[in-house]
Protein backbone atom coordinates (compact mmCIF):
# COMPACT_ATOMS: atom_id res chain seq x y z
CA UNK A 1 0.00 0.00 0.00
CA UNK A 2 0.91 3.66 -0.49
CA UNK A 3 -0.40 6.92 0.92
CA UNK A 4 -1.14 10.34 -0.52
CA UNK A 5 1.19 13.02 0.75
CA UNK A 6 0.43 16.41 -0.77
CA UNK A 7 2.65 19.06 0.81
CA UNK A 8 -0.32 21.05 2.11
CA UNK A 9 -2.38 19.23 4.72
CA UNK A 10 -6.12 18.70 4.51
CA UNK A 11 -8.12 21.46 6.19
CA UNK A 12 -11.71 22.71 6.23
CA UNK A 13 -13.02 26.05 7.45
CA UNK A 14 -16.73 26.23 8.24
CA UNK A 15 -18.05 29.81 8.40
CA UNK A 16 -21.28 29.94 10.38
CA UNK A 17 -23.67 32.57 8.99
CA UNK A 18 -26.26 34.36 11.13
CA UNK A 19 -29.16 32.55 9.48
CA UNK A 20 -27.61 29.14 10.16
CA UNK A 21 -26.24 28.74 6.67
CA UNK A 22 -22.70 27.55 6.13
CA UNK A 23 -19.92 28.73 3.84
CA UNK A 24 -17.19 26.10 3.79
CA UNK A 25 -13.67 26.51 2.48
CA UNK A 26 -12.48 22.99 1.76
CA UNK A 27 -9.54 21.22 0.15
CA UNK A 28 -11.53 19.16 -2.34
CA UNK A 29 -11.48 18.00 -5.94
CA UNK A 30 -15.23 18.52 -6.15
CA UNK A 31 -17.02 21.42 -4.45
CA UNK A 32 -20.45 19.98 -5.25
CA UNK A 33 -19.33 16.62 -3.88
CA UNK A 34 -18.52 18.17 -0.50
CA UNK A 35 -21.79 20.12 -0.60
CA UNK A 36 -23.74 16.93 -1.23
CA UNK A 37 -21.94 15.17 1.62
CA UNK A 38 -22.58 17.93 4.17
CA UNK A 39 -26.20 18.35 3.09
CA UNK A 40 -26.94 14.65 3.44
CA UNK A 41 -25.01 13.97 6.65
CA UNK A 42 -26.44 16.98 8.51
CA UNK A 43 -29.85 16.96 6.78
CA UNK A 44 -29.45 20.49 5.43
CA UNK A 45 -30.96 22.00 2.27
CA UNK A 46 -28.45 22.42 -0.55
CA UNK A 47 -29.08 26.16 -0.63
CA UNK A 48 -27.88 26.45 2.98
CA UNK A 49 -24.46 24.97 2.21
CA UNK A 50 -21.92 26.71 0.01
CA UNK A 51 -18.51 25.12 -0.61
CA UNK A 52 -15.65 27.21 -1.96
CA UNK A 53 -12.40 25.69 -3.19
CA UNK A 54 -10.69 27.84 -5.84
CA UNK A 55 -7.23 26.53 -4.94
CA UNK A 56 -6.63 22.93 -3.88
CA UNK A 57 -2.93 22.23 -3.95
CA UNK A 58 -1.90 18.62 -4.45
CA UNK A 59 -4.68 16.05 -4.49
CA UNK A 60 -4.67 13.43 -7.31
CA UNK A 61 -7.42 11.35 -5.73
CA UNK A 62 -6.99 12.23 -2.07
CA UNK A 63 -9.53 15.02 -2.46
CA UNK A 64 -12.18 13.07 -4.38
CA UNK A 65 -14.00 12.10 -1.19
CA UNK A 66 -14.74 14.49 1.66
CA UNK A 67 -12.26 13.63 4.40
CA UNK A 68 -13.18 13.60 8.05
CA UNK A 69 -11.90 17.06 8.92
CA UNK A 70 -14.84 18.42 6.89
CA UNK A 71 -17.35 16.54 9.04
CA UNK A 72 -15.66 17.65 12.26
CA UNK A 73 -15.49 21.32 11.20
CA UNK A 74 -19.18 21.43 10.25
CA UNK A 75 -20.22 19.53 13.39
CA UNK A 76 -18.34 21.95 15.65
CA UNK A 77 -19.47 25.07 13.76
CA UNK A 78 -23.15 24.11 14.07
CA UNK A 79 -22.77 23.14 17.72
CA UNK A 80 -20.84 26.28 18.71
CA UNK A 81 -22.57 28.57 16.19
CA UNK A 82 -19.23 30.10 15.28
CA UNK A 83 -16.53 29.70 12.67
CA UNK A 84 -14.37 26.60 13.01
CA UNK A 85 -11.29 25.37 11.17
CA UNK A 86 -10.03 21.80 11.45
CA UNK A 87 -6.64 20.84 10.01
CA UNK A 88 -5.14 17.39 9.87
CA UNK A 89 -1.60 16.70 11.02
CA UNK A 90 0.89 14.89 8.83
CA UNK A 91 0.41 11.69 10.82
CA UNK A 92 -3.37 11.99 10.40
CA UNK A 93 -2.86 12.15 6.63
CA UNK A 94 -2.06 8.43 6.91
CA UNK A 95 -5.44 7.59 8.44
CA UNK A 96 -8.08 8.35 5.79
CA UNK A 97 -7.24 5.83 3.09
CA UNK A 98 -4.47 4.42 0.94
CA UNK A 99 -3.72 2.77 -2.37
CA UNK A 100 -4.72 -0.85 -1.70
CA UNK A 101 -2.19 -3.65 -1.70
CA UNK A 102 -2.79 -6.46 -4.19
CA UNK A 103 -1.60 -9.98 -4.85
CA UNK A 104 -1.69 -10.71 -8.58
CA UNK A 105 -1.15 -13.92 -10.55
CA UNK A 106 -0.35 -13.87 -14.26
CA UNK A 107 0.23 -16.65 -16.78
CA UNK A 108 1.05 -16.12 -20.47
CA UNK A 109 1.22 -18.60 -23.32
CA UNK A 110 2.84 -17.88 -26.69
CA UNK A 111 4.00 -19.53 -29.88
CA UNK A 112 7.74 -19.64 -30.58
CA UNK A 113 7.36 -16.61 -32.87
CA UNK A 114 5.95 -14.57 -29.97
CA UNK A 115 2.24 -14.70 -30.86
CA UNK A 116 0.24 -14.64 -27.63
CA UNK A 117 -2.11 -17.63 -27.38
CA UNK A 118 -3.35 -17.45 -23.78
CA UNK A 119 -3.47 -14.98 -20.92
CA UNK A 120 -4.56 -15.36 -17.30
CA UNK A 121 -4.58 -12.48 -14.83
CA UNK A 122 -6.23 -12.41 -11.42
CA UNK A 123 -5.95 -9.97 -8.54
CA UNK A 124 -6.76 -10.09 -4.84
CA UNK A 125 -7.19 -6.58 -3.47
CA UNK A 126 -7.86 -5.33 0.03
CA UNK A 127 -10.91 -3.46 1.21
CA UNK A 128 -12.33 -2.50 4.61
CA UNK A 129 -14.92 -4.39 6.61
CA UNK A 130 -17.54 -1.72 5.96
CA UNK A 131 -17.12 -0.95 2.25
CA UNK A 132 -16.40 -2.83 -0.97
CA UNK A 133 -13.79 -0.51 -2.43
CA UNK A 134 -12.97 -1.65 -5.98
CA UNK A 135 -10.50 -0.66 -8.68
CA UNK A 136 -10.00 -1.61 -12.33
CA UNK A 137 -6.88 -3.75 -11.95
CA UNK A 138 -7.01 -6.70 -14.38
CA UNK A 139 -9.14 -5.32 -17.24
CA UNK A 140 -6.14 -3.62 -18.87
CA UNK A 141 -4.60 -7.01 -19.68
CA UNK A 142 -7.53 -7.82 -21.95
CA UNK A 143 -7.06 -4.76 -24.16
CA UNK A 144 -3.33 -3.99 -24.12
CA UNK A 145 -2.20 -6.82 -26.39
CA UNK A 146 -3.82 -9.06 -28.98
CA UNK A 147 -4.76 -12.42 -27.46
CA UNK A 148 -7.74 -14.66 -28.27
CA UNK A 149 -7.89 -16.63 -25.02
CA UNK A 150 -8.08 -14.40 -21.95
CA UNK A 151 -9.29 -15.11 -18.42
CA UNK A 152 -9.47 -12.27 -15.89
CA UNK A 153 -10.57 -12.40 -12.25
CA UNK A 154 -10.77 -9.88 -9.42
CA UNK A 155 -11.46 -10.57 -5.76
CA UNK A 156 -11.81 -8.39 -2.69
CA UNK A 157 -10.46 -9.38 0.71
CA UNK A 158 -12.08 -7.54 3.67
CA UNK A 159 -9.44 -6.57 6.23
CA UNK A 160 -9.44 -4.68 9.52
CA UNK A 161 -8.20 -1.49 7.84
CA UNK A 162 -9.75 1.78 6.77
CA UNK A 163 -11.22 1.86 3.26
CA UNK A 164 -8.65 2.38 0.52
CA UNK A 165 -9.07 5.41 -1.71
CA UNK A 166 -8.28 6.58 -5.22
CA UNK A 167 -4.64 7.42 -5.87
CA UNK A 168 -3.34 8.60 -9.23
CA UNK A 169 -4.37 6.05 -11.90
CA UNK A 170 -6.14 3.79 -9.36
CA UNK A 171 -6.01 0.18 -10.49
CA UNK A 172 -4.13 1.06 -13.66
CA UNK A 173 -0.77 1.68 -12.02
CA UNK A 174 -1.37 -1.52 -10.03
CA UNK A 175 -2.43 -3.86 -12.84
CA UNK A 176 -0.52 -2.54 -15.86
CA UNK A 177 2.93 -3.00 -14.25
CA UNK A 178 2.03 -6.63 -13.53
CA UNK A 179 1.10 -7.53 -17.11
CA UNK A 180 3.98 -5.47 -18.55
CA UNK A 181 6.49 -7.20 -16.27
CA UNK A 182 5.08 -10.55 -17.38
CA UNK A 183 5.45 -9.51 -21.02
CA UNK A 184 9.09 -8.68 -20.35
CA UNK A 185 9.62 -12.10 -18.77
CA UNK A 186 7.99 -13.74 -21.78
CA UNK A 187 10.25 -11.82 -24.15
CA UNK A 188 13.34 -13.17 -22.39
CA UNK A 189 11.92 -16.70 -22.38
CA UNK A 190 11.40 -16.41 -26.15
CA UNK A 191 14.74 -14.73 -26.79
CA UNK A 192 12.93 -11.71 -28.30
CA UNK A 193 13.39 -8.02 -27.87
CA UNK A 194 10.65 -6.78 -25.48
CA UNK A 195 9.60 -4.07 -27.95
CA UNK A 196 9.45 -6.59 -30.79
CA UNK A 197 7.14 -8.81 -28.70
CA UNK A 198 4.72 -5.94 -28.14
CA UNK A 199 4.71 -5.02 -31.81
CA UNK A 200 4.10 -8.67 -32.67
CA UNK A 201 0.90 -8.60 -30.59
CA UNK A 202 -0.20 -5.07 -31.49
CA UNK A 203 -3.89 -4.54 -32.10
CA UNK A 204 -6.15 -1.67 -33.14
CA UNK A 205 -9.20 -3.57 -31.89
CA UNK A 206 -10.48 -3.97 -28.34
CA UNK A 207 -11.22 -7.68 -28.20
CA UNK A 208 -12.55 -7.48 -24.65
CA UNK A 209 -15.34 -5.09 -25.67
CA UNK A 210 -15.59 -6.25 -29.29
CA UNK A 211 -15.09 -2.82 -30.80
CA UNK A 212 -12.34 -0.66 -32.36
CA UNK A 213 -10.49 2.12 -30.57
CA UNK A 214 -11.61 5.65 -31.38
CA UNK A 215 -7.93 6.32 -32.11
CA UNK A 216 -4.68 4.60 -31.21
CA UNK A 217 -1.24 5.90 -32.14
CA UNK A 218 0.59 3.54 -29.77
CA UNK A 219 2.66 2.07 -32.60
CA UNK A 220 4.01 5.56 -33.29
CA UNK A 221 4.67 5.98 -29.55
CA UNK A 222 6.83 2.85 -29.67
CA UNK A 223 8.70 4.14 -32.71
CA UNK A 224 9.36 7.69 -31.54
CA UNK A 225 10.12 6.67 -27.96
CA UNK A 226 12.56 3.95 -28.99
CA UNK A 227 14.29 6.25 -31.46
CA UNK A 228 14.70 9.05 -28.90
CA UNK A 229 15.92 6.61 -26.25
CA UNK A 230 18.33 4.78 -28.56
CA UNK A 231 16.70 1.40 -27.88
CA UNK A 232 18.42 -0.23 -30.89
CA UNK A 233 21.74 0.05 -29.04
CA UNK A 234 20.52 -2.22 -26.23
CA UNK A 235 22.25 -5.53 -25.55
CA UNK A 236 19.66 -8.23 -24.98
CA UNK A 237 21.55 -10.13 -22.27
CA UNK A 238 21.10 -9.08 -18.60
CA UNK A 239 24.22 -7.80 -16.80
CA UNK A 240 25.84 -7.03 -20.16
CA UNK A 241 25.95 -3.23 -19.86
CA UNK A 242 28.12 -1.34 -17.38
CA UNK A 243 29.19 2.17 -16.45
CA UNK A 244 32.06 2.19 -13.98
CA UNK A 245 31.07 0.24 -10.85
CA UNK A 246 27.39 0.28 -11.85
CA UNK A 247 25.33 -2.20 -13.80
CA UNK A 248 23.23 -0.47 -16.47
CA UNK A 249 19.78 -1.67 -17.47
CA UNK A 250 17.30 -0.61 -20.12
CA UNK A 251 13.64 -1.50 -19.82
CA UNK A 252 10.40 -0.54 -21.50
CA UNK A 253 6.66 -0.91 -20.96
CA UNK A 254 3.30 0.14 -22.33
CA UNK A 255 0.83 2.44 -20.60
CA UNK A 256 -2.92 2.78 -21.03
CA UNK A 257 -5.69 4.76 -19.35
CA UNK A 258 -9.30 5.71 -20.03
CA UNK A 259 -10.31 8.72 -22.11
CA UNK A 260 -13.63 9.54 -20.49
CA UNK A 261 -16.05 12.44 -20.65
CA UNK A 262 -18.70 13.27 -18.04
CA UNK A 263 -21.69 15.68 -18.09
CA UNK A 264 -20.93 19.27 -17.06
CA UNK A 265 -22.33 22.80 -17.25
CA UNK A 266 -20.61 26.11 -17.87
CA UNK A 267 -21.65 29.74 -18.15
CA UNK A 268 -20.07 32.37 -20.41
CA UNK A 269 -20.77 36.10 -20.10
CA UNK A 270 -19.39 38.71 -22.51
CA UNK A 271 -19.55 42.21 -21.01
CA UNK A 272 -19.94 45.56 -22.70
CA UNK A 273 -16.21 46.13 -22.09
CA UNK A 274 -15.35 43.12 -24.23
CA UNK A 275 -14.25 41.02 -21.27
CA UNK A 276 -15.38 37.41 -21.11
CA UNK A 277 -16.19 35.68 -17.82
CA UNK A 278 -16.50 31.88 -17.94
CA UNK A 279 -17.57 29.84 -14.93
CA UNK A 280 -17.93 26.20 -13.92
CA UNK A 281 -17.63 24.52 -10.52
CA UNK A 282 -14.64 22.41 -11.50
CA UNK A 283 -11.31 22.25 -9.67
CA UNK A 284 -7.64 22.84 -10.43
CA UNK A 285 -5.21 20.61 -8.55
CA UNK A 286 -2.25 22.04 -10.40
CA UNK A 287 -3.13 20.40 -13.70
CA UNK A 288 -3.70 23.70 -15.49
CA UNK A 289 -7.51 23.79 -15.51
CA UNK A 290 -7.57 27.58 -15.12
CA UNK A 291 -5.20 27.95 -18.06
CA UNK A 292 -6.71 25.57 -20.59
CA UNK A 293 -10.31 26.65 -19.94
CA UNK A 294 -9.23 30.24 -20.51
CA UNK A 295 -7.57 29.15 -23.75
CA UNK A 296 -10.62 27.21 -24.96
CA UNK A 297 -12.90 30.17 -24.30
CA UNK A 298 -10.53 32.66 -25.92
CA UNK A 299 -10.09 30.43 -28.97
CA UNK A 300 -13.83 29.86 -29.39
CA UNK A 301 -14.70 33.57 -29.42
CA UNK A 302 -11.47 34.86 -30.93
CA UNK A 303 -10.48 36.91 -27.90
CA UNK A 304 -7.04 37.57 -26.39
CA UNK A 305 -6.51 35.31 -23.38
CA UNK A 306 -5.91 38.39 -21.21
CA UNK A 307 -9.53 39.38 -21.88
CA UNK A 308 -10.86 36.09 -20.48
CA UNK A 309 -11.36 35.15 -16.84
CA UNK A 310 -12.25 31.62 -15.75
CA UNK A 311 -13.76 30.93 -12.32
CA UNK A 312 -14.07 27.52 -10.68
CA UNK A 313 -14.31 25.82 -7.29
CA UNK A 314 -17.60 27.23 -5.98
CA UNK A 315 -20.97 25.53 -5.60
CA UNK A 316 -22.65 28.78 -6.66
CA UNK A 317 -21.27 28.11 -10.15
CA UNK A 318 -22.71 25.72 -12.78
CA UNK A 319 -22.29 22.12 -11.72
CA UNK A 320 -19.26 20.09 -12.77
CA UNK A 321 -18.11 16.63 -11.73
CA UNK A 322 -15.21 15.93 -9.41
CA UNK A 323 -11.81 16.69 -10.92
CA UNK A 324 -10.55 13.15 -11.36
CA UNK A 325 -10.23 10.30 -13.82
CA UNK A 326 -8.28 12.51 -16.24
CA UNK A 327 -11.62 13.70 -17.65
CA UNK A 328 -11.66 17.40 -16.72
CA UNK A 329 -10.21 18.78 -19.95
CA UNK A 330 -12.68 16.79 -22.04
CA UNK A 331 -15.62 17.30 -19.68
CA UNK A 332 -15.46 20.92 -18.54
CA UNK A 333 -13.63 21.98 -21.69
CA UNK A 334 -16.51 20.74 -23.85
CA UNK A 335 -19.01 22.63 -21.67
CA UNK A 336 -16.93 25.82 -21.86
CA UNK A 337 -16.72 25.51 -25.64
CA UNK A 338 -20.48 25.04 -25.94
CA UNK A 339 -21.27 27.99 -23.64
CA UNK A 340 -18.97 30.26 -25.64
CA UNK A 341 -20.51 29.04 -28.89
CA UNK A 342 -23.92 29.95 -27.52
CA UNK A 343 -22.65 33.44 -26.77
CA UNK A 344 -21.40 33.57 -30.36
CA UNK A 345 -24.82 32.53 -31.67
CA UNK A 346 -26.50 35.28 -29.66
CA UNK A 347 -24.03 37.82 -31.02
CA UNK A 348 -24.72 36.55 -34.53
CA UNK A 349 -28.47 37.01 -34.08
CA UNK A 350 -27.89 40.56 -32.85
CA UNK A 351 -25.72 41.29 -35.90
CA UNK A 352 -28.29 39.94 -38.37
CA UNK A 353 -30.97 42.33 -37.09
CA UNK A 354 -29.03 45.48 -37.94
CA UNK A 355 -30.05 47.41 -41.09
CA UNK A 356 -27.74 46.68 -44.00
CA UNK A 357 -25.88 44.02 -42.06
CA UNK A 358 -23.61 41.81 -44.22
CA UNK A 359 -24.66 38.95 -41.90
CA UNK A 360 -28.40 39.36 -42.60
CA UNK A 361 -28.77 36.43 -45.00
CA UNK A 362 -25.97 34.31 -43.56
CA UNK A 363 -25.97 31.24 -41.31
CA UNK A 364 -23.97 30.92 -38.11
CA UNK A 365 -21.74 28.39 -39.87
CA UNK A 366 -20.70 31.17 -42.27
CA UNK A 367 -18.93 33.24 -39.60
CA UNK A 368 -15.83 32.89 -37.46
CA UNK A 369 -14.36 34.81 -34.53
CA UNK A 370 -10.87 36.31 -34.51
CA UNK A 371 -9.08 39.28 -32.95
CA UNK A 372 -12.16 40.34 -31.01
CA UNK A 373 -14.34 40.44 -34.13
CA UNK A 374 -17.01 38.38 -35.84
CA UNK A 375 -16.13 37.90 -39.51
CA UNK A 376 -17.57 36.28 -42.61
CA UNK A 377 -15.62 33.30 -43.86
CA UNK A 378 -16.25 34.29 -47.47
CA UNK A 379 -15.31 37.93 -46.88
CA UNK A 380 -13.16 38.37 -43.76
CA UNK A 381 -13.16 42.13 -44.33
CA UNK A 382 -16.86 42.08 -43.43
CA UNK A 383 -16.22 42.23 -39.69
CA UNK A 384 -17.77 43.78 -36.61
CA UNK A 385 -16.15 44.12 -33.15
CA UNK A 386 -17.77 41.97 -30.48
CA UNK A 387 -18.02 44.94 -28.11
CA UNK A 388 -20.25 46.68 -30.67
CA UNK A 389 -22.53 43.66 -30.81
CA UNK A 390 -22.79 43.44 -27.01
CA UNK A 391 -23.93 47.07 -26.90
CA UNK A 392 -26.86 46.06 -29.10
CA UNK A 393 -28.06 43.89 -26.21
CA UNK A 394 -29.58 46.81 -24.34
CA UNK A 395 -26.38 47.57 -22.46
CA UNK A 396 -26.41 44.17 -20.81
CA UNK A 397 -23.80 41.43 -20.99
CA UNK A 398 -24.51 38.54 -23.32
CA UNK A 399 -24.79 35.57 -20.96
CA UNK A 400 -25.36 31.92 -21.93
CA UNK A 401 -25.24 28.62 -20.07
CA UNK A 402 -24.66 25.29 -21.77
CA UNK A 403 -24.51 21.64 -20.79
CA UNK A 404 -22.09 19.18 -22.33
CA UNK A 405 -23.22 15.56 -22.43
CA UNK A 406 -21.14 12.64 -23.78
CA UNK A 407 -22.25 11.14 -27.08
CA UNK A 408 -23.33 7.79 -25.68
CA UNK A 409 -24.12 6.32 -29.10
CA UNK A 410 -20.58 6.96 -30.31
CA UNK A 411 -19.08 5.87 -27.01
CA UNK A 412 -20.79 2.49 -27.24
CA UNK A 413 -19.25 1.90 -30.65
CA UNK A 414 -15.64 2.67 -29.73
CA UNK A 415 -13.18 2.11 -26.90
CA UNK A 416 -11.59 5.39 -25.84
CA UNK A 417 -8.12 5.25 -24.37
CA UNK A 418 -4.90 7.21 -24.08
CA UNK A 419 -1.67 5.25 -24.63
CA UNK A 420 2.01 5.57 -23.85
CA UNK A 421 5.34 3.85 -24.42
CA UNK A 422 7.90 4.23 -21.63
CA UNK A 423 11.65 3.58 -21.85
CA UNK A 424 13.84 3.71 -18.74
CA UNK A 425 17.53 3.46 -17.91
CA UNK A 426 18.74 2.51 -14.45
CA UNK A 427 22.11 2.19 -12.77
CA UNK A 428 22.48 -0.39 -10.01
CA UNK A 429 25.56 -0.19 -7.80
CA UNK A 430 27.17 -3.63 -8.00
CA UNK A 431 28.30 -3.55 -4.36
CA UNK A 432 25.46 -1.79 -2.57
CA UNK A 433 22.58 -2.64 -4.95
CA UNK A 434 21.20 0.91 -4.81
CA UNK A 435 19.04 1.77 -7.82
CA UNK A 436 19.13 5.10 -9.63
CA UNK A 437 16.79 5.90 -12.52
CA UNK A 438 19.07 7.87 -14.83
CA UNK A 439 16.65 8.72 -17.59
CA UNK A 440 13.11 8.11 -18.80
CA UNK A 441 11.67 8.69 -22.26
CA UNK A 442 7.91 8.52 -22.52
CA UNK A 443 5.87 8.98 -25.69
CA UNK A 444 2.19 9.83 -25.21
CA UNK A 445 -0.72 9.50 -27.65
CA UNK A 446 -3.29 11.69 -25.95
CA UNK A 447 -5.38 13.23 -28.71
CA UNK A 448 -5.19 17.00 -29.11
CA UNK A 449 -2.82 18.68 -26.67
CA UNK A 450 -4.38 21.97 -25.59
CA UNK A 451 -1.34 23.40 -23.82
CA UNK A 452 2.07 21.74 -24.35
CA UNK A 453 3.54 23.32 -21.21
CA UNK A 454 0.85 22.23 -18.72
CA UNK A 455 0.53 18.87 -20.51
CA UNK A 456 4.26 18.22 -20.23
CA UNK A 457 4.17 19.14 -16.56
CA UNK A 458 1.46 16.54 -16.01
CA UNK A 459 3.57 13.82 -17.60
CA UNK A 460 6.69 14.90 -15.70
CA UNK A 461 4.79 14.61 -12.43
CA UNK A 462 3.40 11.24 -13.42
CA UNK A 463 6.85 9.90 -14.30
CA UNK A 464 8.29 11.07 -10.99
CA UNK A 465 5.44 9.34 -9.17
CA UNK A 466 6.03 6.20 -11.24
CA UNK A 467 9.70 6.23 -10.24
CA UNK A 468 8.58 6.67 -6.66
CA UNK A 469 6.24 3.68 -6.86
CA UNK A 470 8.92 1.48 -8.41
CA UNK A 471 11.83 2.09 -6.02
CA UNK A 472 10.75 4.34 -3.12
CA UNK A 473 7.17 4.44 -1.95
CA UNK A 474 5.73 1.98 0.58
CA UNK A 475 3.44 2.14 3.60
CA UNK A 476 4.53 -0.39 6.22
CA UNK A 477 1.89 -1.87 8.47
CA UNK A 478 2.24 -3.46 11.90
CA UNK A 479 -0.15 -6.37 11.41
CA UNK A 480 -0.60 -6.83 15.14
CA UNK A 481 -2.30 -3.47 15.46
CA UNK A 482 -3.44 -2.74 11.92
CA UNK A 483 -1.52 0.52 12.00
CA UNK A 484 0.79 2.04 9.41
CA UNK A 485 4.04 2.71 11.18
CA UNK A 486 5.98 5.03 8.84
CA UNK A 487 3.38 7.78 9.06
CA UNK A 488 5.70 10.73 8.41
CA UNK A 489 7.79 12.15 5.59
CA UNK A 490 11.04 11.02 7.19
CA UNK A 491 10.27 7.30 6.93
CA UNK A 492 7.77 7.29 4.06
CA UNK A 493 10.29 7.48 1.26
CA UNK A 494 9.58 9.89 -1.60
CA UNK A 495 11.91 10.86 -4.42
CA UNK A 496 13.76 14.14 -3.94
CA UNK A 497 15.54 16.21 -6.56
CA UNK A 498 18.67 14.03 -6.37
CA UNK A 499 16.57 10.96 -7.25
CA UNK A 500 15.09 12.44 -10.43
CA UNK A 501 17.30 12.82 -13.49
CA UNK A 502 16.49 13.23 -17.19
CA UNK A 503 12.83 12.92 -18.24
CA UNK A 504 12.00 13.33 -21.91
CA UNK A 505 8.34 13.74 -22.91
CA UNK A 506 7.10 13.20 -26.47
CA UNK A 507 3.56 13.99 -27.56
CA UNK A 508 2.65 11.90 -30.58
CA UNK A 509 0.21 13.53 -32.97
CA UNK A 510 -3.22 11.91 -32.69
CA UNK A 511 -6.49 13.07 -34.24
CA UNK A 512 -9.69 11.79 -32.63
CA UNK A 513 -13.04 13.29 -33.74
CA UNK A 514 -14.99 10.66 -31.78
CA UNK A 515 -13.75 10.89 -28.20
CA UNK A 516 -15.30 14.36 -27.51
CA UNK A 517 -15.92 17.68 -29.32
CA UNK A 518 -12.41 18.91 -28.49
CA UNK A 519 -10.63 15.72 -29.50
CA UNK A 520 -8.67 15.73 -26.23
CA UNK A 521 -7.73 12.85 -23.96
CA UNK A 522 -6.83 13.29 -20.30
CA UNK A 523 -3.13 13.31 -19.38
CA UNK A 524 -3.24 13.38 -15.58
CA UNK A 525 -2.79 9.64 -15.12
CA UNK A 526 -1.22 8.21 -18.27
CA UNK A 527 2.15 9.59 -17.16
CA UNK A 528 2.45 7.12 -14.28
CA UNK A 529 0.93 3.80 -15.39
CA UNK A 530 3.76 2.47 -17.54
CA UNK A 531 6.71 3.74 -15.52
CA UNK A 532 6.94 1.16 -12.68
CA UNK A 533 7.16 -1.75 -15.14
CA UNK A 534 9.70 0.05 -17.34
CA UNK A 535 11.91 0.66 -14.28
CA UNK A 536 11.45 -2.89 -12.95
CA UNK A 537 12.27 -4.35 -16.36
CA UNK A 538 15.37 -2.16 -16.53
CA UNK A 539 16.46 -3.40 -13.10
CA UNK A 540 16.18 -6.99 -14.35
CA UNK A 541 18.17 -6.13 -17.46
CA UNK A 542 20.86 -4.59 -15.25
CA UNK A 543 21.06 -7.30 -12.59
CA UNK A 544 19.47 -10.46 -13.99
CA UNK A 545 17.23 -10.58 -10.93
CA UNK A 546 13.48 -10.27 -11.36
CA UNK A 547 11.73 -8.40 -8.54
CA UNK A 548 7.95 -8.54 -8.76
CA UNK A 549 7.25 -6.98 -5.37
CA UNK A 550 7.30 -3.18 -5.54
CA UNK A 551 9.08 -1.09 -4.46
CA UNK A 552 12.42 -2.53 -5.56
CA UNK A 553 14.65 -1.80 -2.57
CA UNK A 554 18.30 -2.75 -2.30
CA UNK A 555 17.62 -5.66 0.08
CA UNK A 556 15.57 -7.37 -2.64
CA UNK A 557 18.58 -7.24 -5.00
CA UNK A 558 21.13 -8.72 -2.60
pLDDT in tens, 192-203: 999 999 999 999
Q: Work out the mean pLDDT of the chain and round it to a whole number.
A: 96
Confidence at residue 53, expressed as pLDDT on a 0 to 100 scale: 97
The pTM of the full predicted model, rounded to 2 decimals, is 0.96
Confidence at residue 400, expressed as pLDDT on a 0 to 100 scale: 98
Sorting pLDDT into bands at 50, 70 and 90, what band is 462? Answer: very high
Q: Which residues are catalytic?
A: 525
162, 151 contact by CB (below 8 A): no
Query: What's the whole-number mean pLDDT along residues 442-471?
Result: 97
The strand ranges marked E within 271-366 are 276-279, 308-311
Query: What's the whole-number mean pLDDT along residues 11-36?
Result: 96
How far is 458 from 473, CA to CA, in rounded Å? 19
**Facing residues of 311 across strands?**
279
Reported as half-sphere exposure (CB side, CA atoms, 13 A), residue 254 has a value of: 31
CB count, 10 Å around CB of 35? 24
**Facing residues of 402 across strands?**
266
304-307's contacts with Cβ under 8 Å and 24+ in sequence apart are 304/372, 307/274, 307/275, 307/276, 307/372
Query: What's the whole-number mean pLDDT along residues 390-401?
Result: 94
The yes-or-no verdict on residue 58 having pLDDT over 90 is no
281, 293 contact by CB (below 8 A): no
How far is 461 from 285, CA to CA, in rounded Å? 12
What's the DSSP call for residue 92?
G
Amino acid sequence: PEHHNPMELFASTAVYEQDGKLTIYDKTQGAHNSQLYVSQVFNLPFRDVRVVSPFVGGAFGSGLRPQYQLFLAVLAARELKRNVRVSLTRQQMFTFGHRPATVQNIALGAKPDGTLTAMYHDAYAETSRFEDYTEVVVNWSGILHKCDNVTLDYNLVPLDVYSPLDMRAPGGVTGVPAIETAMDELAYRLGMDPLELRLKNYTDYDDAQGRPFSSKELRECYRQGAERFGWNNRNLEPRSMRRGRSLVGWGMATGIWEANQMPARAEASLGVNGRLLVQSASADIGTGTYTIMTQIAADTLGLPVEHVTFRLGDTDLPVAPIEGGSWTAATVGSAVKLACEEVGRTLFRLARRQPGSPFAKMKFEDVFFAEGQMRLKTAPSAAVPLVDLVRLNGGRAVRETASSIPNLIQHKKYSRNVHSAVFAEVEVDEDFRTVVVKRVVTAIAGGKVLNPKTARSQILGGVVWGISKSIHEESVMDHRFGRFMNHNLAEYHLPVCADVHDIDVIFVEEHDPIVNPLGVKGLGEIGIVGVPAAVANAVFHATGKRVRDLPITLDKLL
